Amino acid sequence: MGNEKKNIEIEAIGEFGLIDELTSDFVLRNDSSIKGVGDDSAVMSSKEGEHKLMSSDMLVEGVHFNLSYMPLKSLGFKAVSVNVSDIYSMNGMPEQITVSLGVSSKFPVEALKELYAGIHAACEYYSVDLVGGDTTSSYSGLIISISVIGSVAKNKITYRSGAKENDLLIVSGDVGSSYLGLQILEREKGVFNANPNIQPKLDGYDELIKKQIQPTARMDVISMFQEMSFVPTSMIDVSDGLASEVMHLSKSSDCSFSVYSDKLPISEKSALTAEELGIDPFVCALNGGEDYELLFTASQKDFDKFKNNPNFSIIGFATDKSNANLLIDKNETAVTLNAQGWRHF
């Protein structure tokens, strides 16, 4: 009895620990497989000078979305956005998607047409083609699984690894907005559940709510990089929370980062809403998740390209791996950076 092997709880190791447990014994057997599990997209060799990229994400009702406030058309658009974002985070461009659904009989055909209207709108927006998929029944609500295929020039591909000591840590756009949009939706859902006669108060929060229910992946950032003749040294998209993504870059690049709290890009609306809800806006920015901005590193020689660019914020720099990942406040007080964002289990 004393020698029995104890089962490992999924919650104890989290999503990435689970992936490591399940895939550590797999090796790449084909010359065309360049990069397997461990980055935002798999990488496969293609024609000369180009790599093919592939990624997939699943959205599950009750876990990733709530249909009481998520319009089906917005859900369709979001499902595509979260997938193509993984291709952009490799500095590539998406080209094709497949869509697979697990759907219960409670959904009429008209509802699924609304979902696909959102998928269609996203395909047009990102210039990707829907080329296949699958549909099956589900006894646990709606499940959407999308796979995306893209491409990137071999000399421009960007992995999570590659950051070097003293590289700048930079993020596009602003962070924390999506989380605050979710808090507003949850607040109003609670009010409605308590009294269905009270109409939700959503006026004035449109910007935050849209970031939550219909985020836009940063295709434009990849175009900006091309115009700048710039290739990041490492990159990841902000899906699970900024602090979490910083730590993923740290692990993959075998370095540490110092992040300055007063450099975090927080929109005025986010700051005001956080104050209204009694939430620290810096906690939202670091741990909120689902912003789908791009977090990347750049050599010091590229500083001038970003120092006064309103589309980006330099929020820190890479340090030697012997250091901890640090969060430094405006008083120069440093604490260990902790990831408290989205947990998949």
Which pair of tokens denotes residue 141?
Answer: 């609500």
The mean pLDDT value for 207-218 works out to: 97
pLDDT at 258: 98
Q: How far apart (Å, rounded) are the C-alpha atoms in residues 32 and 210? A: 39
Domains and their CATH numbers in the chain: 10-153 (3.30.1330.10), 168-336 (3.90.650.10)
- Tell me the CA end-to-end span of the chain in Å, nearest whole number: 29
Beta-bridge partners for 97: 130, 148
Q: How far apart (Å, rounded) are the C-alpha atoms in residues 114 and 286? A: 34
Q: How many CB atoms lie within 10 A of CB 27?
A: 7
204 contact partners, CB below 8 Å, separation of at least 6: none
Per residue in 135-149, pLDDT tens?
888 887 899 999 999
Q: Which residue would you say has higher pLDDT here, 272 or 49?
A: 272
Confidence band of 187 (pLDDT split at 50, 70, 90): very high
Confidence band of 30 (pLDDT split at 50, 70, 90): low
Ramachandran area for residue 289 (φ above 0: left; ψ -120 to 50: alpha; else beta): left
Ramachandran area for residue 81 (φ above 0: left; ψ -120 to 50: alpha; else beta): alpha
The mean pLDDT value for 277-284 works out to: 95
With 60 as the cut, is the pLDDT of residue 23 above it? Answer: no
Per residue in 52-88, pLDDT tens?
898 999 999 988 999 999 999 999 999 999 999 999 9
